[in-house]
Amino acid sequence: MQNCFVNIRIEHDIYLALHHVRLMMDKLSFSKMDKQKVLVAVSELTRNILDHAGANGSFSCECIENQGIRLIIQDSGKGIDNLHQILSGEGTPNRRGLGLGLSGAKRMMDEFTIKTSKEGTTIVCVKWNGK
């Protein structure tokens, strides 16, 4: 099964990332509910690249031993100053997107790690099939 990589620079790139993820999850037989959770997470996390990181980032996904899907979202923005507040759901909602952002994506995925600094942010998250 192929991995995918998409530079996130414009709105269309988000749809391309969603398309690749959908195809990969179909091959892994994810439930409809889990597919929706992953698609919302992808949408929110890639949208953040456009809204907060100067449209300068990337998205990649890979199959994990036919058991799950790993998403990697990277940007070269200015980092996230109030990360703890945002992850706890206390952040201020953005006028775009679903308003779930990082905290919502974290809740929808089975594993979620984030590293942020003044050089950018990297998010790695995993959804296991059937978990």
Task: Give residue 46's domain range.
Answer: 4-128
pLDDT category at 82 given cuts 50, 70, 90 is confident
Q: What is the pLDDT of residue 73?
A: 98
Assigned token pair, 21 = 């993820």
Is the per-residue pLDDT at 35 higher than 80?
yes
pLDDT in tens, 11-29: 999 999 999 999 999 999 8
pLDDT at site 93: 55
pLDDT of res. 97: 46
User: CA nearest 3: which of 102, 101, 70, 83?
Assistant: 70
Distance from first CA to last CA of the chain, Å, rounded? Answer: 21
Evaluate if residue 106 carries a pLDDT over 60.
yes
**Cβ atoms 119, 102 nearer than 8 A:** no
| pTM of the model as a whole | 0.90
**22: CATH:** 3.30.565.10
What the block records as the tokens of 131 is: 């978990």
Residue 6, Cβ neighbours under 10 Å: how many? 21
**Total of domains in the chain:** 1
pLDDT band at 100 (very low <50, low <70, confident <90, very high): low
